[in-house]
């Protein structure tokens, strides 16, 4: 994970393109979901400052609303490598996987996971099927195209979320359901407002952990973060308000603690499971695996390739706890991509 080029070679030889999607009003869901995309400004500024400190040459490349313009821009500017910060296109997060696909066609190396991994991890049922095929624990679940598909195969309480979203989009306190009436209301909401099936899984009451991983051939698990909830009652969840609305009570009562205090045998099991999930889903460069503990048994909730790398995000806190600066992280993922590009 060390770099071989000195500063003079970096200045002379490498031009980095920072590719990011400009926020637009989402095509589905709630208008407030726009806030999740708007954080791109904070991330791009942090990456830009890191590149300046590293003395890299760089170009800021916004992707707005036209793939043809993007392709022409990339062909004209000829970056040696792309830091891929795109989380969708045209206001549609489902298009995230198509951005690196364009880069692959153009033979431009880029940071982060491949189109295949991004597509798999956005499909929550497929993610769970792959985890289970690899004997990795995840809560029991079903997928409902509409409420009439419900067979009562999982006991209440349940947790309902969109089938193909991330960043806590579509998640609120109403996502926690205790009976058929509440389940129907939330499934109908996901089906109609987000135009997709609802993933319904057993609600796991327990500690919530973020496991950040860095690297490829020999990936390392960074110090584990715990999300603590200052709520007396269930549900204790990171809903949209807790993640994005800084003035909300949910945000103020949800804290990230790094490192999490865990018994050694639990920590070892979590790290083993998270690494296996990372490899089973073909994650690359960096990712975050979200886990809940039920009586010290880890259960994988989600896998997040290309997670948020804003300075206050959980992944970056884990980097700091590991003694890895933001600049060192950016340098590492740039060289991961360049190594792939060199074949």
Please provide the DSSP assignment of 22-82 as one string: PP---SSS-GGGHHHHHTHHHHHHHHHHHHHHTT-EEEEEEE-S-HHHHHHHHHHH--SEE
* Portions of the chain given CATH number 3.30.1490.20: 141-202
Measuring CA to CA, how many Å separate 196 from each of 127, 161, 162? 16, 10, 7
User: What is the reported pLDDT for 11?
Assistant: 45
Omega before 46 cis (within 30°)?
no
* Portions of the chain given CATH number 3.40.50.2300: 7-112+323-341
Per CATH, is 141-202 categorized as 3.90.1010.10? no
User: What is the reported pLDDT for 232?
Assistant: 80
User: What is the reported pLDDT for 262?
Assistant: 97
User: What is the reported pLDDT for 171?
Assistant: 87
Q: Which segments of the chain have a pLDDT < 70?
A: 1-12, 24-38, 65, 91, 240, 242, 244-245, 343
User: What is the reported pLDDT for 3?
Assistant: 45
User: What is the reported pLDDT for 308?
Assistant: 93
Which homologous superfamily does the CATH classification assign to the domain defined by 120-137+204-321? ATP-grasp fold, B domain (3.30.470.20)
Model pTM score: 0.91
- Contact between 96 and 164 (Cβ < 8 Å): no
Which homologous superfamily does the CATH classification assign to the domain defined by 7-112+323-341? Response regulator (3.40.50.2300)
Report the distance separating Cα 186 and Cα 171, nearest Å.
10
């Amino acid at each position: 994970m060390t770099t071989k080029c000195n500063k003079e070679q970096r200045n002379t030889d490498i031009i980095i393109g920072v590719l990011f999607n400009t926020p637009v009003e989402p095509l589905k869901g709630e208008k407030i979901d726009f806030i999740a995309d708007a954080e791109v400004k904070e991330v791009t500024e942090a990456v830009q400052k890191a590149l300046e400190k590293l003395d890299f040459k760089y170009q800021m490349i916004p992707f707005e609303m036209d793939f043809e313009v993007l392709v022409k821009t990339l062909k004209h500017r000829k970056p040696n490598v792309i830091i891929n910060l795109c989380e969708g296109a045209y206001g549609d997060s489902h298009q995230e996987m198509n951005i690196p696909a364009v880069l692959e066609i153009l033979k431009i190396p880029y940071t982060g996971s491949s189109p295949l991994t991004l597509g798999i991890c956005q499909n929550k049922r497929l993610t769970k099927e792959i985890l289970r095929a690899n004997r990795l624990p995840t809560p029991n679940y079903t997928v409902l195209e509409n409420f009439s598909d419900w067979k009562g195969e999982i006991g209440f309480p349940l947790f309902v979320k969109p089938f193909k979203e991330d960043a806590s989009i579509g998640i609120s306190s109403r996502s926690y359901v205790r009976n058929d009436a509440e389940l129907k209301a939330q499934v109908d909401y996901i089906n109609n407002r987000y135009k997709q099936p609802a993933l319904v899984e057993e609600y796991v009451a327990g500690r919530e952990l973020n496991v950040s991983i860095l690297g490829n051939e020999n990936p390392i698990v960074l110090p584990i973060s715990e999300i603590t909830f200052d709520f007396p009652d269930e549900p204790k969840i990171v809903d949209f308000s807790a993640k994005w609305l800084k003035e909300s009570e949910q945000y103020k009562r949800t804290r990230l603690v790094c490192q999490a205090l865990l018994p050694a045998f639990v920590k070892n099991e979590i790290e083993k499971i998270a690494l296996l999930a990372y490899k089973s889903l073909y994650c690359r460069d960096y990712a975050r695996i979200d886990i809940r503990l039920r009586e010290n048994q880890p259960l994988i909730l989600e896998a997040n390739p290309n997670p948020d790398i804003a300075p206050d995000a959980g992944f970056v806190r884990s980097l700091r706890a590991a003694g890895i600066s933001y600049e060192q992280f950016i340098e590492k993922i740039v060289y991961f991509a360049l190594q792939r590009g060199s074949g």
